[in-house]
Amino acid sequence: MENLIPFIRNERITDGSVLHTSARCIEKCKEESCKKFYQKIKSKPEGYYECPGGYTVYHKMMDEESLFYMGVRVKNHYKKVSYKNEEKVDVVSEQIFNNLIEANGKILRIQKEYERQDSIHKDLLHDIKKLDSQILYKSQELINSYDEKDEVYKEILSKVKNINAMEQLITCKYNVYDLALNIEGLALGNSSFVYVYKKFDKIRYILMGYKGQNVPIVFRGETDFKYEMKLAYGEILPFLLLENAVKYTAGEKPVEVSFEEIKDNLYVTISSFGPTCEEDELEKITQKNYRGRNTIKYNNDGTGIGRKRTISSTLTNICRSHG
């Protein structure tokens, strides 16, 4: 949500979407005379002032913090000074400006509440991820200490493996969620050579019994093909593809994944029995938030993060970022 009018807070200028501050004012705010001016009126009452550059300033207190609406010209509250090569700054009435201040105050409060909730959400997500990694580590310890001669332990081991797979599934979901929120992160991170088959095989293990379905994921062919990519996406890519195939497959029919090396390329083909994509939709399936007509009819489960947003746009962005 954009702010309506420009303001300065903690020596940082934020421009407005309805009224804009001039480039000259932005530059002058860095000068010592302007800094002293704003420091001086911090202790003064709320209201209109004129800055050293002749522009209107309105001092407003928000949560015991000074905020200055600035860089504009309000009738009867600015000096009639013209500067060489200065872009035009419109003069607005006091009533209009007061209304904009009131409206912008509501926007700032909404922004602050959003930031508060976002901070709580991030802290909670961090704690959950930490607990998830601990459960994953402990379950892996139990799997590694398996004694094949102990029949009782075999049954326990089967349950522990299910827990381990579910925890890895949760981790994949977190990674997808993080990426959907910060798609710019594709440009960051270290690259390394990833064994494609092994990554798909790991996701196959994780998706066993997914959502109470016994959909077999059958591999055709085997390969040691390596591909250089961002480490963080080595598992997100096969996870999104296979999860989508399992989620929308008909009944418990198998999902087939074939690996075929041709010269220096590896072709991975995923086949499943699911809703078809109509010809007029083919160019739309990579668009953000697009969902095929037959898919909507077939399965309405989930929040939509995995299908509508991630499968379409995130997969496309991952592929494009790797050439």
Encode pLDDT of 83-128 as tens digits. 666 667 778 999 999 999 999 999 998 988 888 888 887 777 777 7
Angle between helices 236-248 and 196-206 (to 10 degrees): 40
Query: How many angstroms separate the CA atoms of 222 and 217, rounded?
Result: 14
Angle between helices 196-206 and 151-181 (to 10 degrees): 110
Cα–Cα distances in angstroms (integers) from residue 252 to residues 94, 147, 206, 274, 304, in the given order? 69, 33, 17, 11, 22
Q: Is the pTM of this model over 0.85?
A: no
3-state class (DSSP) for residue 65: strand
The list of the chain residues with pLDDT below 50 reads: 300, 302-311
pLDDT at 103: 94
Pick from 39, 9, 13: nearest CA to 27? 13
pLDDT per residue over 260-303, tens digit each? 999 888 999 998 887 777 777 766 666 655 666 766 655 545 43
Query: How many angstroms separate the CA atoms of 180 and 275, rounded?
Result: 25
Torsion angle of alpha carbons 203, 205, 207, 211, nearest 10°? -160
Within 10 angstroms of residue 25's Cβ, the number of other Cβ atoms is 23
DSSP class of residue 298 equals H
pLDDT at 177: 76
